[in-house]
Amino acid sequence: MVETFSVLIIGGGGREHALGWGFARDPRMQKIWFAPGNAGSSEIGINLPFGVMDFVEITDWAKKEKPGLVVVGPEVPLCAGLADRLREAGLRVFGPGANGAQLEGSKSFCKDLLVSQKIATARAGSFIDQKEAIRFSESLPPRQVVKADGLAGGKGVVMAGSHAEAGQAIREMMEGRVFGEAGTRVLIEEFLDGEELSIHAVTDGKRLVILPSAQDHKRVGDGDRGLNTGGMGAYAPAPRATPELLREVEEKVLRPTLEGLRSRGIEYRGVLYAGLMLTKEGPKVLEFNCRFGDPETEVLVPLLETPLWDLLWAAADGDLSNVSMKIRQGAALTVVVAAPGYPAQPILGQKIQMGNGGADSVVFHAGTKKEGSEVVVSGGRVLAATGWGDDLRTARERAYGAVQKVFFAGMYFRGDIGHRALGKVVYDAP
């Protein structure tokens, strides 16, 4: 183990603040830097004046300061090769290289790997020709999913209810370029019915450490209604993820995926984040992400008793064999507080009033920045109020209790986070 317990975290959202908070709980930590960070991260570390795509500046700074570990949070710099560049400069990095990040950066690459490894997934076709794409779409049942192949900020997926809707989505992506170059190639999949589940595994390229299961809430409104978002809340663990199911996912999804990457000459050190649909036929893979989820990170980190440093450093170093994984008993739940107009056109700039947190809750910052002594809204998803406790109901009460202690003009949040596990529950603001 290195002597320099210092970490550079790339990113400025709720995921990165939560990771920094996890590192900061470790008494061995000496320094935490964020690039660029947010108003919350500035309270536990040092924010650097670099954007996530400022590769030259980040690399030059890291070569000089020599942090003991670099953690790359978002998918965009991973897919663009930031981890490769930093490793070439001699840094220890948690996050896959650009070849491994194709799992998220190219939906066609991911689908090809799943099929070659005989991993259960939806029937699909990948196309660069619009006419061929539409012909394939018409061969599927009317309900289907049209995906822009590349990264589209979580917005490149259309759930079509008819062949006409699917055809329109294909034309808008391939001809209208509504998602830019991400839609040059499209992936068309059959629609899968069931309940979604998120499984995160940390890997050193050979071994896996599976973290608690989680469930996200993508729709903007209560009852899973309205537009898709980056996530309006999450909880962990998910009751549907029984020990038997987790073993099945490890044996039939995660390990074959890792083997498929290795067979392609890819040494993957970072997070394998599987988005699953629990169908009548068993779990099927919807997608893979190459980084921690957001807001899932905000519920996973508080549940870790093993120091975050020990886990991520060992994975980055290529040897998880000596990591003893311990998870807190109980559950965690987070509620995202969003800006008015999110996700379409969020209104920014409002001053945020913050109260004091409790012993079993924390408010992670996402879309915030400092303006003088004030904290103001700078993004659509502004805060993630997280609570934890002996059971999910207690965690939920503490998370919504933390929501009550923040205010900015026009703020809104879902009142039913956790409803899949707890039944029909709606929080009514006082």
Q: Is residue 417 a part of any domain in this protein?
A: yes
Same domain, 142 and 218: no
Same domain, 312 and 217: yes
- Is 80 exceeded by the pLDDT of residue 424? no
Burial status of residue 80 (CB atoms within 10 A of its CB: 0-12, 13-18, 19 or more): middle
Name 339's bridge partners: none
- Is 80 exceeded by the pLDDT of residue 5? yes
By DSSP bridging, strand 157-160 and strand 93-94 are unpaired
Query: Average pLDDT, stretch 5-16?
Result: 98
Per-residue CA distances from 179 to 154, 169, 229, 414 (Å) = 10, 11, 16, 27
Q: Is residue 142 a part of any domain in this protein?
A: yes
Supply the CATH number for residue 337's domain: 3.90.600.10
Of 261, 298, 291, nearest to 78 (Cα)? 291
Q: Which residue, chain included where needed, has tokens 């209604």? A: 225
Structure tokens at 85: 């560049």
Same domain, 199 and 312: yes
- Residue-wise pLDDT tens digits, 216-260: 999 999 999 998 898 999 999 999 999 999 999 999 999 999 999
For residue 250, which phi and psi values (nearest 5 degrees)? Answer: -60, -45
Cα distance between residue 169 and residue 155, in whole Å = 12
Q: Is residue 42 a part of any domain in this protein?
A: yes
Please, are residues 307 and 382 in contact by the beta-carbon 8 Å criterion? no
Supply the CATH number for residue 71's domain: 3.40.50.20
For residue 7, which phi and psi values (nearest 5 degrees)? Answer: -140, 140
Query: Average pLDDT, stretch 413-425?
Result: 88
Same domain, 132 and 56: no
Of 288, 298, 291, nearest to 269 (Cα)? 291
Supply the CATH number for residue 185's domain: 3.30.1490.20
Q: Is residue 109 a part of any domain in this protein?
A: no
Same domain, 171 and 240: no
- Total-model pTM: 0.93
pLDDT at 228: 83
Same domain, 208 and 184: no
| b/e sequence 200-210, b meaning 16+ C-beta within 10 Å | bbbbbbebbbb
Q: Where in the sequence is the domain holding 229, given as residue range(s)? A: 195-317
Q: Which percentage of the chain shows pLDDT scores above 90?
A: 87
Sign of CA dihedral 265, 268, 295, 224: positive
pLDDT at 1: 47
Same domain, 336 and 243: no
Q: Is residue 116 a part of any domain in this protein?
A: no
Q: Which residue, chain included where needed, has tokens 């991520």? A: 312
Of 403, 405, 423, 402, nearest to 413 (Cα)? 403
CA 28-34-38 angle, to 5 degrees, is: 120
- Is 60 exceeded by the pLDDT of residue 429? no
Domain end call among 190, 216, 246: 190
Same domain, 401 and 416: yes
Query: Average pLDDT, stretch 175-182?
Result: 90
Q: What's the one-letter identity of residue 233?
A: G
Sign of CA dihedral 83, 84, 86, 90: positive
- Residue-wise pLDDT tens digits, 251-286: 999 999 999 999 999 999 999 999 999 999 999 999
Q: What does pLDDT average to over the chain?
A: 94
Structure tokens at 350: 């409002």
- Is 90 exceeded by the pLDDT of residue 156? no
Of 212, 179, 216, nearest to 195 (Cα)? 216
- Residue-wise pLDDT tens digits, 11-66: 999 999 999 999 999 999 999 999 999 999 999 999 999 999 999 999 999 999 99
Q: Which percentage of the chain shows pLDDT scores above 70?
A: 97
Q: Is residue 428 a part of any domain in this protein?
A: no
Cα distance between residue 96 and residue 289, in whole Å = 11
Name 283's bridge partners: 278
Supply the CATH number for residue 202's domain: 3.30.470.20
Same domain, 350 and 268: no
Domain end call among 163, 190, 217: 190
Query: Average pLDDT, stretch 392-396?
Result: 96
Q: What's the one-letter identity of residue 337?
A: V
- Is 70 exceeded by the pLDDT of residue 321? yes
Q: What is the DSSP string of 113-180?
A: HHHHTT--B--EEEESSHHHHHHHHHHS-S-EEEEESS--TT--EEEESSHHHHHHHHHHHHTS-TTG
At residue 404 the predicted structure's pLDDT band, cuts being 50, 70 and 90, is very high
pLDDT at 157: 85
Please, are residues 251 and 258 in contact by the beta-carbon 8 Å criterion? no
- Residue-wise pLDDT tens digits, 62-109: 999 999 999 999 999 999 999 999 999 999 999 999 999 999 999 999
Structural domain count, the chain: 4
Cα distance between residue 245 and residue 428, in whole Å = 34
pLDDT at 28: 96
Of 130, 139, 79, nearest to 107 (Cα)? 79
Q: Is residue 110 a part of any domain in this protein?
A: no
Domain end call among 166, 190, 214: 190
Per-residue CA distances from 75 to 79, 149, 154, 287, 425 (Å) = 6, 14, 10, 14, 33
Same domain, 310 and 336: no
Q: Is residue 325 a part of any domain in this protein?
A: no
Please, are residues 414 and 335 in contact by the beta-carbon 8 Å criterion? yes
Of 53, 66, 58, 20, nearest to 39 (Cα)? 20
- Is 70 exceeded by the pLDDT of residue 428? no
Same domain, 203 and 184: no
- Is 70 exceeded by the pLDDT of residue 2? no
For residue 165, which phi and psi values (nearest 5 degrees)? Answer: -65, -40
Q: Which residue, chain included where needed, has tokens 């109020």? A: 385
Of 193, 178, 123, 116, nearest to 148 (Cα)? 178
At residue 355 the predicted structure's pLDDT band, cuts being 50, 70 and 90, is confident
Please, are residues 11 and 74 in contact by the beta-carbon 8 Å criterion? yes
Cα distance between residue 148 and residue 152, in whole Å = 7
Same domain, 183 and 136: yes
At residue 3 the predicted structure's pLDDT band, cuts being 50, 70 and 90, is low
- Is 50 exceeded by the pLDDT of residue 177? yes
